[in-house]
Amino acid sequence: MSISSSLSNALSGMTAASRMAEVVSSNVSNSLTDGYGRRSLNLSSSVVGGHGAGVEIGSITRHVDRGVLGDRRLAGASLGGYSALVSTMNRIQDAIGEVGNSGSISNRIVAVETALIGAASDPSSSINLSALAEKLSDVATSLNTASRDIQNERERADSSISDQVSRLNTALSQVQQFNKDITNANNSGYDPSGLMDQRQLVIDGISEIVPVREIRRTGGQVALMTPSGETLLDGEAKAFGFVQNPVITPDMTIQSGALSGITLDGQTIATDGVGKLSGGTLGATFQARDSELITAQKGLDAIAADLIGRFQDPNVDPTLAPGEAGLLTDAGAAYNVANIVGLSSRISLNMLVDPSEGGALSKLRDGLNATSIGPSGNASLLQALSGALADARTTATDPVQQSVAGRASSIEAEMGSKRVEFESEVSFASARWSSLKEAETADGVDTDYEMQMLLRVEQAYAANARVIQTVETLMQRLMEI
């Protein structure tokens, strides 16, 4: 081997050691960076004319366990979806209350029962009659407020869907651009690892909204598809649409066409609005808007219908004609079974017994259509009202025989049970996500290993420097001859 070859080999070795030191330092400095894939430098021996010509520096390999990464993304989508549903159920329970709580609707109905018993024990007492009117008004107001809160939640969900669709479209466009940049970097001989790190973070963000599987394509590009088979990106990114409704009323549903679903090229992708994009926070928000919150609204309407129906029965108040409004009304009118949707938002105390509207408290004792003040000690109507409230009956929407308070408690318990169910799913998804995240981290940067590599790099660099020093000594000896 000639002296020049020795010098060339040593210089290539020092260059390779310097490049390796750069890669190792990048790994160490990014050991805690989310989305960073550990790098390694590919080296091979260089051969020229059948003789060794030092070391050849190859490409940089980015190490990521795609299987663990994909499973972690799916677990994260599930965790985000169920967490969103738990938040929705918590707000529903804040609106309607929990069984046994003082502010719950069932507790307010019990308060009406207590007020009826108190008024029946002393029907001549204007204080007792006033307390009864107040409790009836309180129940109506609480149902109005709960219904309004439910619709506000549906509006919030609708707004959230619009925001998520916008973020999804933006992220898909970014992945498309990253794909192009990575291909250009590969074709130009540049290291695309940094671009891949950024692309991974963007795809992680997409996977929170919609569960995705990443499929490798040529040139370092990737395609994205949901586990159900909906292609999000393969070369070109899809652009999804959604129309937000600023105001939502109880009668507005996606089935009636009053609310928007996800669209693609102007066409709704599924009857439920989300279709194969379900599984993440986007699907959970649709479920909240179009299922859980509607169920809560139906429960409130069922309570309102039961209350109004019992009090407008002529068998309870003989002064009422069939079809006439009772103590509680549908915005002043009688309850019509064909108009139950949104009834809880319209229920109100009959003006005939509401002092603030010029009504007379004595009509609570004598009957709504009493033409004159009856005997002050007559408690028959108050007892009939109390019995009607406590009777176990079926309704047009519920075949189970229950009292009004019992029906309200059942609805509150149903909402609570649903929340507990979602919380259980959150616990499972959280444990799975944490386990997969640990597995992903374990395959990341090991600083102990990187420091060992740095020592080897240092030794290799020193050894190559020693070769150059030896070549210099030989050259000096030649010059001295």
Residue 223 has pLDDT above 60, yes or no: yes
Q: Is 32 helix (H, G, I), strand (E, B) or coil?
A: coil
pLDDT in tens, 398-409: 888 999 999 999
State mean pLDDT over 78-97: 95
Q: Which two tokens stand for residue 223?
A: 């395609």
Q: How far is CA 285 from CA 64, 163, 288, 295, in A?
A: 32, 11, 5, 14
- Long-range contacts formed by 369-375: CB under 8 A, 24+ apart: 369/319, 369/320, 369/321, 369/324, 370/319
Q: Which of 245-259, 275-289, 325-339, 461-475 has the lowest mean pLDDT?
A: 461-475
Residue recorded with tokens 């109506």: 140
Specify whether the CB–CB gap between 316 and 328 falls below 8 A: no
Give per-residue pLDDT as tens, 21-59: 888 888 888 888 888 888 888 887 877 666 667 788 878
Residue whose pair of structure tokens reads 């420097």 in the numeric block: 465
Q: In the block, which residue shows the tokens 């030989």?
A: 474
Reference 16, options 28, 4, 24; nearest CA is 24
The runs of H, that is alpha helices, within 97-229 are 105-121, 126-188, 193-209
pLDDT score of 374: 86
Q: What is the Cα–Cα distance from 19 to 176, expressed in whole angstroms?
A: 30
Residue 353, pLDDT above cutoff 70: yes
The alpha carbon of 396 is separated from its chain's Cα centroid by a whole number of angstroms, namely: 34
Among 122-131, 330-339, 435-444, name the one with the lowest average pLDDT: 435-444
